[in-house]
Amino acid sequence: MIYSRITGTGSYLPEQVLTNHDLEKIVETSDEWIRERTGIGQRHVVGPEETTCDLAEQAARSALAAAGRRPEDIDLIIVGTTTPDQVFPSTACLLQQRLGVHNGCAAFDVQAVCTGFVYALGVANQFIRAGSARCALVVGAETISRILDWNDRGTCVLFGDGAGAVVLEASETPGILSTHLHADGRYESLLSVPRGIGKGYAQMVAGEAYLQMKGNEVFKWAVNTLGRIVEETLEANGIEQSQVDWLIPHQANIRIIQATARKLKMPMEKVIVTVEQHGNTSAASVPLALDAAVRDGRIKRGDLVLMEAFGGGFTWGSALLHF
């Protein structure tokens, strides 16, 4: 049997920090209001010249260094992103060029919004288990600040920019035990950016392609769905919640994270939380949280880690793995 295992993690956050007090000068809100409802204290946002690929490159180089790998070792690149640099080439191809990976390996983007990294990890795992790749670079990177309406306090306070990456390699011992990927397009109106090449292109060019969200409905769906995906994952692997060392949830909102933990009867001490410092970084949030916990020593080799995410579409997914 061929398995896949994470051998290195990396992350990158833009230098510019936007605190809740900064937002008080932009929109009618307050630090207290934001913290009480979301748990967010600050978020990082890109500068005028920074791109998603810029963030992805830094996170990728960090992950490669942690894995002790060089760019030429990579034979698959997958980037989960909702905010690509351009329509095409894909951000993954741009990243391939930046890193100097000239071996002709496959490189492509996955668009599953906040579930993008989990989707990308699931796809890379299948490539490796099928023998089609041996050393994959999997990245979640976003510049969500570019698609926010900074007059809408219900959305602009929630999101931030960043990138996280892992090197996933073929292994004789199990790393990723299972991945579970789902979607239901019936709920697109609850969380979307309703503009694009085929729909409202003129408005998109004019800068009106903003993220729109019906927060209460999304909250209810997220809590119930994340609870179910975790139960599905545990059942598929025949393990109990108590056997999981760490839960890494999508960092959308502290209330969703806490509600999911309560539903699973999992103590918050076993949940990796970075939403206070990062906000919701969409596809980047899970790998950012993973890298933070690996580098501060909480997650150690052999730990059983459960990742889960929920995003627009709706999309949702999970991955259970031995780190």
* pLDDT tens readout for residues 240-261: 999 999 999 999 999 999 988 9
Q: How far is CA 312 from CA 30, 79, 177, 215, 281, in A?
A: 27, 17, 26, 12, 13
Phi and psi at residue 212, to the nearest 5°: -125, 140
Write out the two tokens for 12: 């990158």
Does residue 205 carry a pLDDT above 80? no
pLDDT at 269 over 70: yes
Residue 201: band (very low, low, confident or very high) from pLDDT cuts 50, 70, 90: confident
Annotated active-site residue in 44, 135, 182, 250: 250
Choice among 33-42, 182-191, 254-263 with the minimum mean pLDDT: 254-263
- Please report, for the chain, the start and end positions of each structural domain, with discontinuous segments joined by +: 3-173, 178-322
pLDDT for 155: 95
Catalytic site includes residue 102: no
Domain 3-173 -> CATH class: alpha beta
Does residue 93 have an active-site annotation?
no
Q: Is 20 a catalytic residue?
A: no
Among candidate residues 253, 278, 280, 322, the one labeled active-site is 280
Average pLDDT score over residue span 1-21:
98
Both structure tokens of 316: 């949702």
Share of the chain above pLDDT 90, in %: 90
**Domain 178-322, CATH number (from 3.20.20.70, 3.40.47.10, 3.90.1150.10, 2.30.30.40):** 3.40.47.10
- Given this model, what pLDDT does residue 264 score? 81
Q: Strand ranges (DSSP E) for 62-188?
A: 76-80, 106-110, 135-142, 162-171, 176-183
Q: Count CB atoms within 10 A of the CB of residue 182.
A: 18
Mean per-residue pLDDT, 279-284: 98
**Which tens digit of pLDDT belongs to each residue from 104-151?**
999 999 999 999 999 999 999 999 999 999 999 999 999 999 999 999
Q: Which of 53, 114, 135, 156 is catalytic?
A: 114
pLDDT-based confidence at 206, cuts 50/70/90? low
| pLDDT at site 167 | 99
CATH topology match: 3-173 vs 178-322: yes
- pLDDT tens string 283-314: 999 999 999 999 999 999 999 999 999 999 99
Write the pLDDT tens digit of every residue in 208-231.
Answer: 789 999 989 999 999 899 989 999
Tokens of 123: 């796809």
Residue 155's nearest CA partner among 193, 206, 202, 207 is 193
